[in-house]
Amino acid sequence: MTLGGLLKHLAWVEELYFQDRLAGRQSMAPFDQLNPEKDWEDWPWSTAAGDTPDALRTLWADSVHRSRDALTEALSSGGLEQTTVSEMSLRRLLADLIEEYARHTGHADLLREHVDGVIGEGPPQDFPVP
């Protein structure tokens, strides 16, 4: 597991949740060529090593912007109890996404702790606050 793999995985999650499950749309490239049943476990993790940090951030940011657009569109036509194309409530889809991010934020924190040795909550006392 790498931070790059986590970011690429979360970009794909954004596409799956908001484009596929919410709106019934095709995912953006490169996710449009993937099979969620077959590629889910290995593809983002094994391919992220070949991507630059900037490319991974851009991929994630682009997928988040598409997600926000799809969510805005859905909310303009109904509330959180509306049913998505995957036959779940929009509220449930959002709760599932929050859980996905929470889990992987924890993974990222464990990786960071391994690198810098700092444990606990919040930044170190000498961390320069912008």
Q: Quick one: tokens of 120? A: 């606990």
In a domain, 28, yes or no: yes
Is residue 38 exposed (0-12), middle (13-18) or buried (19+ Cβ within 10 Å)?
Answer: exposed
Domain range enclosing 100:
3-116
> For residue 129, is it within any domain?
no
Please check whether residue 122 lies inside any domain of the structure.
no
Q: Is the pLDDT of residue 41 over 80?
A: no
> Is residue 49 in a domain?
yes
Q: What is the pLDDT of residues 79-119, one digit of tens each?
A: 999 999 999 999 999 999 999 999 998 898 888 888 888 77
Distance CA 102, CA 6 (A): 12
Q: How deeply is 54 buried, as exposed, middle or buried, from its count of CB atoms within 10 A (0-12, 13-18, 19+)?
A: exposed
User: Domain for residue 128, yes or no?
Assistant: no
pLDDT range class, residue 17, cuts 50, 70, 90: very high
Tokens (6 digits) for 5:
């793999």
Flag whether 125 is in a domain. Answer: no
**Domains held by the chain: number:** 1
